[in-house]
């Protein structure tokens, strides 16, 4: 595996680029769900949004998620010393696993919307759209500082919960 270690930084580049593609989907997919739910009575519009939802998830998000995950595992395999320290990598891994679960939940919602099951509101998806932002703040914080700070984690989660609460309390767009 020493041959791969020589290319470690290129693997990191690939990992970051895959992560950026995955995050693009995570940030945009719930926005498509907002449009879908708030314009459910406009069939032609919804038909276009359904295509966008499908392609965004299946052709961009899902492959990018797996590329991020696999390259991350490979990085740790090549540099097990990344797991040495005060737990920042372990915190990052847990946060990434939560982000992966969130990603799979987007597919669940996509399928429900495709079937015409509108059980969630536009405001729900606006609030849900804040989840990857909060998780990405945690991940970037852990990676840049190479530390796990319980205070940083708690403050970020409280801030995220506050933002989500404020979004949920907005007057729904489809009720105006």
User: CA–CA separation, 25 vs 167, rounded Å?
Assistant: 20
> Has 15 been labeled as part of a binding site?
yes
3 state SS of 39: coil
User: CA–CA separation, 109 vs 117, rounded Å?
Assistant: 9
Which position has the token pair 């597919």? 107
Q: What are the Cα distances from residue 43, in Å, to 32, 54, 55, 114, 140?
A: 15, 16, 19, 12, 40
Annotated binding site for heme: 15, 92
Annotated binding site: 15, 92
């Amino acid at each position: 595996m020493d041959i791969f270690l020589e290319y470690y930084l290129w693997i990191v580049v690939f990992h970051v680029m895959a992560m950026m593609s995955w995050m693009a989907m995570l940030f945009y997919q719930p926005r498509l769900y907002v449009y879908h739910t708030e314009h459910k009575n406009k069939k032609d519009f919804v038909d276009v949004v359904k295509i966008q939802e499908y392609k965004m998830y299946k052709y961009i998000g899902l492959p990018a998620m797996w590329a991020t995950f696999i390259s991350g595992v490979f990085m740790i395999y090549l540099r097990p010393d990344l797991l040495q320290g005060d737990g920042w990598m372990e915190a990052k891994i847990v946060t990434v696993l939560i982000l992966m679960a969130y990603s799979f939940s987007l597919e669940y919602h996509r399928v429900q919307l495709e079937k015409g099951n509108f059980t969630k509101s536009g405001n729900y998806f606006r609030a849900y759209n804040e989840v990857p932002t909060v998780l990405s703040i945690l991940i970037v914080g852990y990676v840049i500082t190479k530390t796990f700070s319980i205070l940083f984690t708690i403050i970020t989660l409280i801030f995220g919960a506050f933002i989500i609460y404020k979004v949920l309390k907005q007057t729904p767009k489809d009720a105006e």
